[in-house]
Amino acid sequence: MSAPCPSAPPSPPPSHGPFATWRRVSLAFAGLSGATAVAMAALAAHLPDRMLAPNGREMMGRAVEMQIWHSLVLLVLAFAGRNVFRWVAPGFALGQVLFCVPVYLLALKGPAIGFIAPWGGSVLILSWLGMAMLAVRRSI
């Protein structure tokens, strides 16, 4: 049995299997989420005041910030390519949806489901703590 050639390039990450699947899903979600955040920022900037709740622009601005930052987190997790991140990536995706959608709806005078937003924030906090735990356990 021959030893591997020391000058051989490292093998690329697998392009199939569950590792690649969670990466593709994370990247797709990050792209859709980032695009949605930009669209919501445009709405917040250009909608007439009569279409927004009091403080609606401010509420939308905060939700856009949360959404864009957590979209970037999903991009970083996917490109980092560490398999352990598959455990925290869904939390970041779910948390941003549960937080941002109710805030957007409140700002746009839509259905009042704002009671869901704290659940989304809690999921985001748990996801950040999960990532910290992975770092402490030296899994990353």
Q: Considering the domain boundaries, does residue 5 fall inside one?
A: no
Q: Considering the domain boundaries, does residue 51 fall inside one?
A: yes
Q: Are 40 and 61 in contact (CB under 8 A)?
A: no
Listed in sequence order, the residues at least 6 apart from 52 whose beta carbon sits closer than 8 Å to its beta carbon are 60, 107, 108, 109
Q: Return the SS3 of 53.
A: coil
Check residue 74 and give its pLDDT: 93
Per-residue pLDDT tens over the stretch 26-41: 999 999 999 999 999 9
> How many domains does the chain contain in total?
1
CA angle 62, 65, 69 (to 5 degrees): 150
- Measure Cα distances from 50 to 44, 95, 107 in Å: 12, 29, 11
Q: Considering the domain boundaries, does residue 11 fall inside one?
A: no
Check residue 1 and give its pLDDT: 55
Q: Considering the domain boundaries, does residue 44 fall inside one?
A: yes
Mean pLDDT value of segment 63-81: 92
Q: Considering the domain boundaries, does residue 93 fall inside one?
A: yes
- Give me the domain span that covers residue 29: 19-136
Rounded CA separation 26/124 (Å): 15
Check residue 104 and give its pLDDT: 97
Q: Which is nearest to 65 in space by CA: 15, 27, 29, 103?
A: 103
Q: Considering the domain boundaries, does residue 8 fall inside one?
A: no
pLDDT, greater one: 41 or 111: 41
Q: Are 104 and 63 in contact (CB under 8 A)?
A: yes
Taking residue 37's Cβ as centre, other Cβ atoms within 10 Å add up to 22
Res. 137 pLDDT band, cuts 50 70 90 = confident
